[in-house]
Amino acid sequence: MRPLAALTAALAAALAAVAPAAAQDLAVREIGSFHIGGRTVTLQGLPVQEITFTAGAPPFRYDPNGQFQVEQMYVQYVKLAAPRARYPLLMWHGGGLTGVTWETTPDGRPGWQMAFLRAGHDVYVSDAVERGRSGWARYPEIFPTPPIFRPLAEGWNLFRVGPADGWDPDPAKRRAYPSTQFPVAAWDQFGKQSVPRWVTTDAAIQAAYNDLVQRVCPCVIMVHSQGGNFGFNAALAAPDKVRALIAIEPSGAPDPARAEAARVREIPHLVVWGDFIEGHALWPRLVANVARWQKAIADAGGRADTLDLPKEGMAGNSHMLMMDRNSDAIAARIQDWIVARGLMR
Q: Are 127 and 98 in contact (CB under 8 A)?
A: yes
Give whichever of 314 and 330 is closer to a second copy, judged by the CB atom.
330
Q: Does 239 bind a second copy (CB under 8 A)?
A: no
| Cis preceding linkage at 140, omega within 30 | yes
Q: How far is the CB of 340 from a second copy (least distance, A)?
A: 27
Measured between alpha carbons, how far is residue 269 from residues 262, 305, 337 in Å? 13, 6, 10
Which of 111, 162, 231, 316 is close enough to bind a second copy by CB under 8 A? 111
Q: Does 103 bind a second copy (CB under 8 A)?
A: yes
d(CA 188, CA 106): 9
Q: How far is the CB of 307 from a second copy (least distance, A)?
A: 21
d(CA 172, CA 150): 21
d(CA 231, CA 261): 14
Kindly write out the interface string for residues 306-325 of this chain, putting x where it contacts a second copy by CB under 8 A and - elsewhere: --------------------
Which of 9, 10, 16, 60 is close enough to bind a second copy by CB under 8 A? 60
Give whichever of 104 and 317 is closer to a second copy, judged by the CB atom.
104
d(CA 188, CA 151): 10
Q: How far is the CB of 115 from a second copy (least distance, A)?
A: 11
Which of 169, 178, 279, 313 is close enough to bind a second copy by CB under 8 A? 169
Nearest to 243 by CA among 220, 271, 270, 226: 220
Q: Does 85 bind a second copy (CB under 8 A)?
A: no
Kindly write out the interface string for residues 129-158 of this chain, putting x where it contacts a second copy by CB under 8 A and - elsewhere: ---xx-xxxx---------xx-xxxx----
Q: How many residues does the chain have?
A: 345
Q: Are 339 and 4 in contact (CB under 8 A)?
A: yes
Number of residues that bind a second copy (CB under 8 A): 89
Stretch that binds a second copy, among 94-102, 304-312, 314-322, 325-333 (CB under 8 A): 94-102
Q: Are 84 and 344 in contact (CB under 8 A)?
A: yes
Which of 67, 140, 257, 278 is close enough to bind a second copy by CB under 8 A? 67
Q: Are 103 and 113 in contact (CB under 8 A)?
A: yes
Q: Please, which of residues 283-302 interact with a second copy by CB under 8 A?
A: 285-286, 289
Give whichever of 107 and 266 is closer to a second copy, judged by the CB atom.
107
Measured between alpha carbons, how far is residue 40 from residues 9, 113, 137, 142, 146 in Å? 50, 32, 11, 11, 20
Q: Are 258 and 281 in contact (CB under 8 A)?
A: no
Kindly write out the interface string for residues 186-215 of this chain, putting x where it contacts a second copy by CB under 8 A and - elsewhere: --xx-xxxxxx--x--x-------------
Strand partners of residue 222: 91, 246
Q: Please, which of residues 16-55 interact with a second copy by CB under 8 A?
A: 19, 22, 24-35, 38, 40, 42-43, 49, 51-55
Which of 122, 127, 249, 324 is close enough to bind a second copy by CB under 8 A? 127
